[in-house]
Amino acid sequence: MSADNSDTNGNRMDAQRTKEALGIGVATHSLSDFIDTASNDLFDKCGKFASFLADARARGLYQAQYRLTITGPLDHRILVQDPFGSGLREMICFDSNSYLGLHIHPRVLAAVHRALDHAGYGTPSAQLLGGTSRYLRELEETVSNFYGRADTVIFPSGYAANVGSLTALLRPNDLVARDRFAHASIHDGCRWSGASWGRAYDHDDMADLAGLMAQQAPQAKGKLIVTDGIFSMHGRVCNLPELRAIADRYQSKLMIDEAHSLGVLGSSGHGLEEHFGLPGSIDVLMGTFSKAPGAVGGYVTGSTDLVDYLRFFARSCMFTAALPAATCAGLTEAFRIMQEEPEHREQLWVNAQRLWQGLHEVGWLVPPLESPIITAFVGADKLLWATSMELYEAGIKCGNVSFPAVPRGEAILRITANARHTPEEIDRTVAILERIGADYGILGCNAAEIQEIGAALPLSLLERGRDNRQSAAFSALTDTR
């Protein structure tokens, strides 16, 4: 989940009491209803959430959408343990962030095996105590050279990189402005930093950001604007030229999370700066290894002064174990492949275009294509649950996203293309989604019309069994290979 779309505490509590009177279940509740309760019992919210999950399990929804057991690699096709007791089944997967398929590239696997044999499978010490492995140092140098920066600091995850950097750099008298749809780790880092100035500005609204800076920057000491390069839930690309211009106008630093743009944007996959032709325009360039590089970990790359400071004051780096040598070796090779084998990125964009074009032509409400993350609008949670389950039954795994990851009433199917999807898999997925959209009458509709259709769906829709949901015609379509 990414965007910070929580209601005020008072409104949330009133709505929660009303829902609890109706009974806890997926037809009436969302995840946001279990953030807090009126009870003095610390575990009261845990018990209520357990009731929500029990209802989801009883309807056959929970294990099919979350906690689905994968028995092989996370790839364009996955083999899963069917939670309905049907054994193993193969599915087409649009839930992987390994855009280029590098996590199973033979060169990457060979590099991992070599390092594993040489250094073992773990690094059971913090860097400042146990030393820095040569594999980690090579990775730091590789990332720095890739971006044309002086140095790089490596974190155990992208979440740790954002939270650690923001809490290290910001102080109570500082200002931090963040996009409302920025990743959850950015929101958490900004809040936990204690910065007294700034807020979340409206998504991609440069006028709102400029107004915020004009009003509050004169009173603040240090100033930072932070946002995603590609927004993880909706796939939109941030407006780097305007962000840089506003930062310069108010003597602010600019931090960009390149998680989803590394290896994807730019003529050679070097990310946002290359995409916009603005080299060196990002002051704090943060990214993750869990998307295009295909592993785990995060990084911040920049000036020597910045990186040295973060090594000592970013607590999520200093007080944790370093990435294992084998992971570092695989990542270093993945960066080399991104530069030496452009065909993976080229195929990624061919697949993304084919998927987007297909969904657009059959009538799904999809925004303009900006990234491999394609979102199909479904609006109401009831419609999200129903369409997601039908996709699962048809052998398609994709993300189903509702509040608080997106605003209330704006639920989406998050469909992520990668370089390894075949034309047949994409076309089959479009055909299945066309059938689902036609069944619910939402093809060719705008957002307001889809929201109205979803709100009018009967609650009994979620009570129908798996066999009842699937028509004979739909079964015939999904059996096609």
What is the per-residue pLDDT for 425?
98
**Are 317 and 442 part of one and the same domain?**
no
User: Do 401 and 426 contact (CB within 8 A), yes or no?
Assistant: no
The answer, yes or no, to whether residue 464 has pLDDT greater than 50, is no
Q: Indicate whether 386 and 460 sit together in one domain.
A: yes
Domain end residue (candidates: 315, 340, 365):
340
Same structural domain, 388 and 330: no
- Higher-scoring residue by pLDDT: 213, 5: 213
Last residue of a domain, one of 340, 370, 397: 340
Confidence band, pLDDT 50/70/90 cuts, at residue 10 = low
| CATH code of the domain covering residue 450 | 3.90.1150.10
The answer to whether residues 299 and 154 touch, using CB atoms and an 8 Å cutoff, is yes
394, 417: one domain: yes
358 and 336 both lie in a single domain: no
CATH number at residue 143: 3.40.640.10
Residue 298, classed as helix, strand or coil, is strand
Q: How many domains does the chain have?
A: 2
CA quadruple 58, 63, 64, 65: dihedral positive or negative?
positive
256-279, pLDDT tens digit by residue? 999 999 999 999 999 999 999 999
Cβ-based burial of 57 (10 A; exposed 0-12, middle 13-18, buried ≥19): middle
Please give the Cα distance from 391 to 386 (Å, whole number).
9
Q: What is the pTM of this model?
A: 0.90
User: Domain for residue 14, yes or no?
Assistant: no
pLDDT digits (tens, 9 = 90+) for 110-140: 999 999 999 999 988 888 788 889 999 999 9
Across the range 433-441, mean pLDDT stands at 96
Domain limits for position 286: 104-340
- On whether both 334 and 350 belong to a single domain, the answer is no
Across residues 400-424, what is the average pLDDT? Answer: 93
Residue 34 lies in a domain: no
Residue 465, pLDDT > 50, answer: no
Mean pLDDT for the chain?
A: 90
pLDDT level of residue 477 (50, 70, 90 thresholds): very low
Q: What is the DSSP letter of 135?
A: H
Final residue before a domain boundary, out of 340, 375, 397: 340
Please tell me whether residues 382 and 322 are part of one structural domain: no
Please report the pLDDT score of residue 13 as a whole number. 54
With 0-12 / 13-18 / 19 or more C-beta atoms within 10 angstroms meaning exposed / middle / buried, residue 251 is exposed
Q: Are residues 145 and 263 in the same domain?
A: yes
Does residue 414 have a pLDDT over 70? Answer: yes
pLDDT (0 to 100) of residue 12: 53
